[in-house]
Amino acid sequence: MNLQHSCPLCLSTANFFWQSDKKENYYACKTCEGIFLSPQNRLSKAKEFERYQLHENDVNDPDYQNFVNPIIQAVQKDFSTNTIGLDFGCGSGPVAAKMLRDKNYQVNLYDPFFYKKPESLKKQYDFIVCCEVMEHFYHPKTEFEKLYSLLKPKGKLYCKTSLMSEEIVNNFGEWFYKDDPTHVFLYTPKTLEIIQKNYRFSSFQIAKDFIVFQK
């Protein structure tokens, strides 16, 4: 077992942090405070796809819509329907795109498994929705560089994930969110600061139900 790994977000040295009953090894980065699953313990692409196919993402499910609705309201507050957005990592049920389209927004789709549309990554957007996606990033450095490049000047990236508090870090073994084998990179507020600094976002905000990065 390696005692150290390079952090896939900030490239700093990360030390061994915790091992599950299944011998899954997690590493903690002292620089960005992210915690990530060892690359050796990641699912294969085929197994990862199988896992995502089990998700029951019905775009008409009221509970699913309520979960995403805080981001929808934020987009409506920040942008007019004359803008264009991207639902990045939209999965098999692109509920954010559906809800925004119902409100006359133009929203493109991209997902590496379900909507692999390279043309969606060849233009820039006023806003990007990244709902319950960033914890799945095998290569968060590359992904956040890509997301930054996809935004127009002053564009906004709306993310939703479960952040780690100090209490969660201290009781990591009991935290439910890390039990999903596709949740491979986990974030603290400090991690978000590093993302803003390293990837040139002008600002970020932690709202009650989501995170906003502005270009």
Per-residue pLDDT tens over the stretch 2-39 = 788 999 999 999 999 999 988 999 999 999 999 999 99
Residues whose CB falls within 8 Å of the CB of residue 73, separated by 6 or more in sequence, listed in order: none
What pLDDT score does 61 carry? Answer: 81
Neighbours of 200 (CB within 10 A): 13
pLDDT-above-90 percentage for the chain = 86
Q: What is the mean pLDDT of the chain?
A: 95
Which listed CATH number (3.40.50.150, 3.40.50.970, 3.40.50.720, 3.40.640.10) goes with 4-214?
A: 3.40.50.150
pTM of the model: 0.94
pLDDT of residue 56: 66
**Each residue of 119-177: pLDDT tens digit?**
999 999 999 999 999 999 999 999 999 999 999 999 999 999 999 999 999 999 999 99
Distance CA 168, CA 92 (A): 30
> Residue 112 pLDDT more than 70?
yes
pLDDT exceeds 80 at position 103: yes
pLDDT at 89 over 80: yes
Contacts of 28 (CB under 8 A, 6+ apart): 14, 15, 17, 34, 35, 169
pLDDT score of 53: 81
State the pLDDT at residue 3: 84
**Domains of the chain by residue range:** 4-214
Query: Which residue has better confidence, 55 or 180?
Result: 180
Question: Which one-letter amino acid corresponds to residue 46?
Answer: A
